[in-house]
């Protein structure tokens, strides 16, 4: 361990190590408390994070399973609470805040903050952040993709006291809960989160009794300094330089056709990193905007991915500088809608993955799938009292192919790797839904020498419900998950709805809110796989055959995407074989034609799509063309932007 040798100011190495790990364990204990006492199914599936802070609000420790989205924001909300209540805090106080404009994420992420006192001396804070399934607003779940301002997104909670000297402020809590569609669960989650913060208080005071107040507070300072020194040393060992890239949001629902760019320039100079978002698009007419705090968190999460062995606290933040133009999609100001910040969040993370892959090629990775949220709400007619139900679900998908290894299959999104994949049985118990299909999505993985991970396909049936509406919060229907180093993209996101009594599904796409649904309606959506890494024509044909055996890749797409011709001998016995001569010929044919394919006339591609000569995967992977997947019409500006990306990330690496 690299520690400064200043006996008068520094802990001895053993005590330092014990305290460092005790702080992290304390936060993990907070998580266990929440899992055992929470009321919301969403929180039970680990959509939460906890943290320990010093007396100034700086993060001292986060847990081992805290989700990425919260890593760079919890210190902001702690400092905002201090700013509001400094000089008016007492043991037993607990404060609530969910303000994204004060450094948080979105209104659903409600944080409870408890000051920790040793006798009359403030020594730190504990904080618990849970995703409340509803905060009011215009639609169940509080995710209205058409919202242009916060007033349709639900309740903004500026710092407010929920416990005063140990007494529960039930009037304030009931006022907050009454603005939601599930007040009983909200009250339950308040108590669960408050108890989690009390667990941290108990453990920190136990450490104080054992080591003394000065030792513990010094430990809080030193663990941050330790992380800062370690990261700065690693950054200083890297070459100085500047890297740039761009990723996209699919569209501005209130604007014209064309993807929304998020531009990032990363500069390493000495032992510091600067991320500059100059040139990113102004805020758009939906909730797919990010306030500055969430953008900083995305930067931290993306960067931390390349330093997985280090603890995470405010020491990590000190060497990162972020420049984000005000009123841009990555630095929205009040009252611009920001509940869908997770869409730019994941674009930022994947862009950072791409840039760091150039610096650390041994850890290189292609684009991961995009997190999606399906929300439906109404009256549960299975029960006599017909309570309001809140069906709120996310699915796993595929991560990008890596340098020397395929991408992770059926994994939670980079947005929140600590999230659980929600169990079907749990959702069916608390909501009037039934799962009719949940399986790996064949051909969802982006082809490459190292393919992306595979996604899933899920179909659900709405049972006895009244007055139900559905919202779908997603992206990459057009800015399709991309490959790198010659790898190919994945597939478009989107939801289809089949009305009761009908056999014809309707494509609703990836962005809609408040869509009426009725008993007997069936809704299906896939999650994309990860992007491919490296030229798919260089993938070992035996690996392609294994993917066919596993139903990850179809025989048809094995030939189209990998140039591997496979004969089926006996599917029931998983007996297949590679036709080596035909494979050599097919790969030579693809090599000779694929650059020209990627530059084909988009209108001709659209014609073939409409007549059924090609499908969506052909349009994307072979012809680099983005269409309206319902009508088949070309999206010209989107296609131009997509092709620019395809040329840089894929075509330029074909040899």
* Same-domain status, 514 and 647: no
For residues 612-637, give the mean pLDDT.
97
The C-alpha R_g of the chain, in whole angstroms, comes to 25
pLDDT, tens digit (0-9, with 9 covering 90-100), for 178-197: 999 999 999 999 999 999 99
What angle do the packed helices 541-549 and 555-562 form, to 10 degrees? 150
Band (pLDDT 50/70/90 cuts) for residue 9 is low
Tokens 């904080």 correspond to 127
CA 605, distance to chain mean position in Å, is 33
Say how far apart CA 246 and CA 355 lie, in whole Å: 10
Which one, of 468, 426, 491, 578, lies nearest residue 45 by Cα? 426
Confidence at residue 254, expressed as pLDDT on a 0 to 100 scale: 86
CA atoms lying within 13 Å on the CB side of residue 433: 30
On average, the pLDDT of the chain sits at: 95
- State what percent of residues in the chain have pLDDT above 90: 90
Q: Is residue 472 part of a domain?
A: yes
Confidence at residue 255, expressed as pLDDT on a 0 to 100 scale: 86
Say how far apart CA 547 and CA 567 lie, in whole Å: 14
Beta strand pairing call for 456-462 and 433-440 = antiparallel
* Same-domain status, 649 and 505: no
* Same-domain status, 515 and 606: no
Contact at 8 Å (CB) between 620 and 626?
yes
pLDDT, tens digit (0-9, with 9 covering 90-100), for 64-96: 888 878 888 999 999 999 999 999 999 999 999
Q: Is residue 521 part of a domain?
A: yes
pTM: 0.94
* Same-domain status, 484 and 615: no
Confidence at residue 4, expressed as pLDDT on a 0 to 100 scale: 47
* Same-domain status, 405 and 482: yes
Q: Is residue 349 part of a domain?
A: no
* Same-domain status, 35 and 131: yes
Contact at 8 Å (CB) between 471 and 512?
yes
User: What is the domain count for the chain?
Assistant: 3
Confidence at residue 417, expressed as pLDDT on a 0 to 100 scale: 78
Band (pLDDT 50/70/90 cuts) for residue 253 is confident
| Secondary structure, 3-state, 574-631 | CEEEECHHHHHHHHHHHHHHHHHHCCCCHHHHHHHHHHCCCCHHHHHHHCCCCECCCC
Tokens 């394919």 correspond to 597
Contact at 8 Å (CB) between 244 and 261?
no
Q: How many helices (H) and strands (E) does the chain have?
A: 16, 22
Residue 295 tokens, joined: 């953008």
Q: For the ranges 83-97, 127-141, 480-494, 595-609, which has the lowest average pLDDT?
A: 127-141
- Which residues span the domain enclosing 198? 13-229
Say how far apart CA 221 and CA 205 lie, in whole Å: 17
* Same-domain status, 399 and 496: yes
Sheet strands side by side (includes 433-440)? 433-440, 456-462, 522-526, 495-498, 506-509
Which one, of 557, 402, 368, lies nearest residue 480 by Cα? 368
Say how far apart CA 62 and CA 297 lie, in whole Å: 14
**pLDDT exceeds 70 at position 629:** yes
Q: Is residue 395 part of a domain?
A: yes
Q: Is residue 551 part of a domain?
A: no
Tokens 């299959």 correspond to 409
pLDDT, tens digit (0-9, with 9 covering 90-100), for 151-178: 999 999 999 999 999 999 999 999 999 9
Contact at 8 Å (CB) between 486 and 477?
no
- State what percent of residues in the chain have pLDDT above 70: 99
pLDDT, tens digit (0-9, with 9 covering 90-100), for 399-447: 999 999 999 999 999 987 778 888 999 999 999 999 999 999 999 999 9
Of 205, 229, 253, the domain-final residue: 229
* Same-domain status, 614 and 519: no
**How large is the greatest C-alpha to C-alpha distance in the chain, in angstroms?**
81
Q: Which residues of 167-183 are buried (b: 16+ CB within 10 A; e: fewer)?
A: eebeebbeebbeebbbb
* Same-domain status, 516 and 613: no
Band (pLDDT 50/70/90 cuts) for residue 334 is very high
For residue 181, the 8-state DSSP code is: S
Residue 345's H or E segment, with its range, is helix 342-359
* Same-domain status, 61 and 164: yes
Say how far apart CA 107 and CA 138 lie, in whole Å: 13
Say how far apart CA 59 and CA 72 lie, in whole Å: 9
Of 229, 244, 259, the domain-final residue: 229
Contact at 8 Å (CB) between 489 and 483?
yes
For residues 249-278, give the mean pLDDT.
96
For residues 456-484, give the mean pLDDT.
97
Confidence at residue 518, expressed as pLDDT on a 0 to 100 scale: 97
**pLDDT exceeds 90 at position 2:** no
List the alpha helices (DSSP H) in 178-244: 183-211, 213-236
Which one, of 211, 318, 308, 311, lies nearest residue 1 by Cα? 311
Which one, of 345, 409, 435, 427, lies nearest residue 547 by Cα? 409
What lies within 8 Å, CB to CB, of 557 at 6+ separation is 443, 447, 617
Beta strand pairing call for 495-498 and 522-526 = antiparallel
Contact at 8 Å (CB) between 274 and 355?
no
Q: For the ranges 35-49, 285-299, 532-546, which has the lowest average pLDDT?
A: 35-49
Which one, of 12, 145, 253, lies nearest residue 514 by Cα? 145
* Same-domain status, 68 and 143: yes
Q: Is residue 572 part of a domain?
A: no
Collapse the DSSP code of 114 into the 3-class scheme (helix H, G, I; strand E, B; otherwise coil) and give the result.
strand
pLDDT, greater one: 364 or 417:
364
* Same-domain status, 379 and 494: yes
pLDDT, tens digit (0-9, with 9 covering 90-100), for 568-589: 999 999 999 999 999 999 999 9
For residues 18-42, give the mean pLDDT.
95
Confidence at residue 393, expressed as pLDDT on a 0 to 100 scale: 93
Q: Is residue 200 part of a domain?
A: yes
**pLDDT exceeds 80 at position 3:** no
Which one, of 512, 521, 506, 528, lies nearest residue 620 by Cα? 528
Q: Is residue 224 part of a domain?
A: yes
For residue 141, the 8-state DSSP code is: T
For residues 460-480, give the mean pLDDT.
96
């Amino acid at each position: 361990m690299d520690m400064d040798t200043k006996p008068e100011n520094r802990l001895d190495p053993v005590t330092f190590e014990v305290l460092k790990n005790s702080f992290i364990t304390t936060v993990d204990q907070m998580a266990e408390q929440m899992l055992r006492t929470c009321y919301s199914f969403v929180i039970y599936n680990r959509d939460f994070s906890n943290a320990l802070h010093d007396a100034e609000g700086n993060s001292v420790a986060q847990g081992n399973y805290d989700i990425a989205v919260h890593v760079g924001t919890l210190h902001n909300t702690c400092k905002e609470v201090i700013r509001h209540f400094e000089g008016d805090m007492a043991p037993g106080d607990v404060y609530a805040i969910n303000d994204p404009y004060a450094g948080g994420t979105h209104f659903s992420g409600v944080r409870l903050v408890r000051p920790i006192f040793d006798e009359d001396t403030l020594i730190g804070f504990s904080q618990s952040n849970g995703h409340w399934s509803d905060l009011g607003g215009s639609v169940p779940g509080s995710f209205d993709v058409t919202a242009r301002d916060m007033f349709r997104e639900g309740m903004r909670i500026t710092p407010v006291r929920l416990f005063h000297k140990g007494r529960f402020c039930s009037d304030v809590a009931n006022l907050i809960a009454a603005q939601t569609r599930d007040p009983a669960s909200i009250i339950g989650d308040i108590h669960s989160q408050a108890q989690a913060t009390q667990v941290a208080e108990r453990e920190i005071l136990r450490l104080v009794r054992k080591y003394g107040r000065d030792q513990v507070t010094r430990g809080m300072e030193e663990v941050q300094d330790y992380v800062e020194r370690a990261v700065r040393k690693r950054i200083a060992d890297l070459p100085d330089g500047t890297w740039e890239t761009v990723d996209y949001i699919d569209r501005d629902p209130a604007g014209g056709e064309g993807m929304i760019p998020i531009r990032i320039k990363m500069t390493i100079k000495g032992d510091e990193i600067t991320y500059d978002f100059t040139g990113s698009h102004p805020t758009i007419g939906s909730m797919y905007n990010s306030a500055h705090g969430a953008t900083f968190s995305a930067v931290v999460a993306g960067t931390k991915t390349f330093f997985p062995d280090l603890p995470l606290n405010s020491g990590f933040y000190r060497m990162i500088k972020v420049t984000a133009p005000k009123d841009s999609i990555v630095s929205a100001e009040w009252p611009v809608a920001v509940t869908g910040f997770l869409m730019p969040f994941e674009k930022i993370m994947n862009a950072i993955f791409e840039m760091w892959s150039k610096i650390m090629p041994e850890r290189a990775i292609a684009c991961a799938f995009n997190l999606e949220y399906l929300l439906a709400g109404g009256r549960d007619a299975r029960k006599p009292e017909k309570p309001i139900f809140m069906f709120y679900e996310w699915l796993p998908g595929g991560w990008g192919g890596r340098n020397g290894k395929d991408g992770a299959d059926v994994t939670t999104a980079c947005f929140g790797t600590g999230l659980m994949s929600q169990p079907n049985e749990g959702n069916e118990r608390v909501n009037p839904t039934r799962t009719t299909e949940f399986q790996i999505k064949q051909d969802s993985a982006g082809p490459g020498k190292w393919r992306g991970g595979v996604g899933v396909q899920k179909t659900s049936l709405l049972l006895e419900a009244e007055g139900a509406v559905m919202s779908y919060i997603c992206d990459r229907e057009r800015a399709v998950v991309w490959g790198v180093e010659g790898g190919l993209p994945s597939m478009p996101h989107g939801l289809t709805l089949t009305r009761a009594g009908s056999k014809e599904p309707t494509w609703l796409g990836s962005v809609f809110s408040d869509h009426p649904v009725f008993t007997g309606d069936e809704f299906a959506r896939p999650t994309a796989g990860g992007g491919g890494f490296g030229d798919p024509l260089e993938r070992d044909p035996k690996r392609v055959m294994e993917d066919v055996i596993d139903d990850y890749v179809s025989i048809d797409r094995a030939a189209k995407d990998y140039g591997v011709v496979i004969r089926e001998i006996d599917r029931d016995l998983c007996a297949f074989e590679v036709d080596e001569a035909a494979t050599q010929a097919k790969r030579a044919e693809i090599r000779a034609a694929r650059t020209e394919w990627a530059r084909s006339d988009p209108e001709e591609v659209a014609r073939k799509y409409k007549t059924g000569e090609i499908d969506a995967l052909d349009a994307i992977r072979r012809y680099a063309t983005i269409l309206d997947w319902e009508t088949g019409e070309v999206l010209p500006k989107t296609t131009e932007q997509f092709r620019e990306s395809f040329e840089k990330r894929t075509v330029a690496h074909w040899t």
